[in-house]
Amino acid sequence: MPVSLLGEVFNRGLFSFSNVWALAKSVAVVGVVVLLKLYFEGAKCRSERVMHGKVVMVTGGTSGIGAAVVQELASRGAQIILLTHHAPTDPFLVDYIEDLRTLTNNELIYAEKVDLSSLHSIRVFATKWVDNAPPRRLDMIILCANVMTPRFGTSQKTVDGLEAEWAINYLSNFHLLSILSPAIRAQPPDRDVRILFSTCSSYIGGTLALKDTETATKSGSASFARSKLAVMTFAYAFQKHLDAYKRPDNQPTNARAYIIDPGFCRTPGTRRWLSGGLIWGLFLYLVTWPVWWLILKSPIQGAQSYLFAAMDVEYGRGAGGRMIKECREYQLLRPEAQHEEVAKKLWEYSEKQIEQLEKEGAVKRALEKKAAQQEKEKNQGGSTADAIGRASGGEKKPTPGSRKSRKAK
């Protein structure tokens, strides 16, 4: 209808147009939609910083907001290290990296296999990184990996037996940074090191019921909110951990942790949650897509606060431990996330949980390795016996049911 109205105005002239009110209504509707879209898009990062020479480690960098952050930083010259559960030789990952290199004109994009749902996989990678001498350069760690159970689903369990939201959204970050801490603190004093944590406004309703993390709950929203509140508590505690370190050169700490809230975005995780993980839910999401297009940000729009925290000069100096949303600082609505007692309890619980699960995982891997070795020796023993029998002129006994056995009858 607006197109036909505009065509009539163009042909007959505005003053000879009889449906002036209809035209005014159409213009008003379009104007409201545009204003709403501009409002829901949120703030935009205006930094023009060049990132050449910067080494950036990213989790969750192959989809959603993480992919948008990676593309923007890579286009500015940063060296990207993607931590992904895919093997570096996986066809999807190979094609993704090749496309990203071509799009950004940056060949310094690599991938490391790190399964964030496995504590052992995280330890293997992080230990290898820390053991390097001299310490490898590391300018930034961006933690974008998240998992969210659909509204009508039950939270999944990881290979370590933990709730998926707790393990991937929080405990993987705790485990990774705990091991990488020496590498972070060993960076030269003139290097600007930043660690970006991901959060969501759902943390406001979260509770740190730590015992519930060892079982899969029926409420994905509750477990997601708990993991985000834990991430924020750990982020402030980790900043204090970095500040408490006394450098050998007596220089102040140059590592700063920031908490990023990207807002509500049209990511694969959000789509899965809105659709409830159901076919009819996905159909309903597609039918109502214009609404979600209007009120939800695109991944690149959601990435703006990450880019602001990663590139703005202001956050390369001063104190860390700040929350950034819509490209500006926000105050926490759950101040207990900054309490030392709460952080201490969470830190100690996380350490004990990881220690116990790592021991159980080591025993399980040892038993599997032993069983595989016994099976291999058994197969090799049978092959060796057959070879010795044939070499000594003996004839191998026919297998029951084989053609040779039937001929013998």
Q: In this structure, are residues 304 and 72 in contact, taking their beta carbons and an 8 Å threshold? A: no
For the question of residue 228 being annotated catalytic, the response is: yes
Structure tokens that stand for 303 in this block: 């990435």
Helix (H) or strand (E) holding 409: none
Q: Judging by DSSP bridges, how do beta strands 322-325 and 328-330 pair with one another?
A: antiparallel
Q: What pLDDT does 353 receive? A: 92
Domain spans, the chain: 55-355
For 275-292, give the DSSP string: HTTSHHHHHHHHHTHHHH
With CA atoms as reference, report the closest residue to 352 among 340, 363, 360, 341: 360
| Beta-ladder partners of 328 | 325
Tokens of residue 84, six digits: 């992904």
pTM of the predicted protein model: 0.85
CATH 3.40.50.720 fits 55-355, yes or no: yes
Q: For strand 109-113 and strand 255-261, is the pairing parallel, antiparallel, or unpaired?
A: unpaired
What distance in Å separates the CA atoms of residue 81 and residue 141, rounded to the nearest whole number?
A: 9
List the chain pLDDT tens, one digit each, 409 residues.
556 656 665 666 555 555 667 767 778 888 888 888 888 888 999 988 899 989 999 999 999 999 999 999 999 999 999 999 999 899 999 999 999 999 999 999 999 999 999 999 999 999 999 998 788 999 999 999 998 888 777 778 888 888 889 999 999 999 999 999 999 999 998 899 999 999 998 888 888 877 766 665 555 678 888 999 999 999 999 999 999 999 888 888 899 999 999 999 998 888 888 888 788 888 998 999 999 999 999 999 999 999 999 999 888 888 888 999 999 999 988 888 889 999 999 999 999 999 999 999 899 889 888 888 888 888 887 666 565 556 555 555 555 555 545 444 4
pLDDT score recorded for residue 270? 87
What's the confidence (pLDDT) of residue 1?
53
Q: Which of 54, 228, 297, 325 is catalytic?
A: 228
Distance CA 24, CA 28 (A): 6
Count Cα atoms within 13 angstroms, Cβ side, for 273: 17
Q: How many CA atoms lie within 13 A of 380 on its CB side?
A: 6
Comparing C-alpha atoms, which of 85, 84, 236, 229 is closest to residue 166? Answer: 229
Closest CA relative to residue 311, chosen from 75, 46, 49: 49
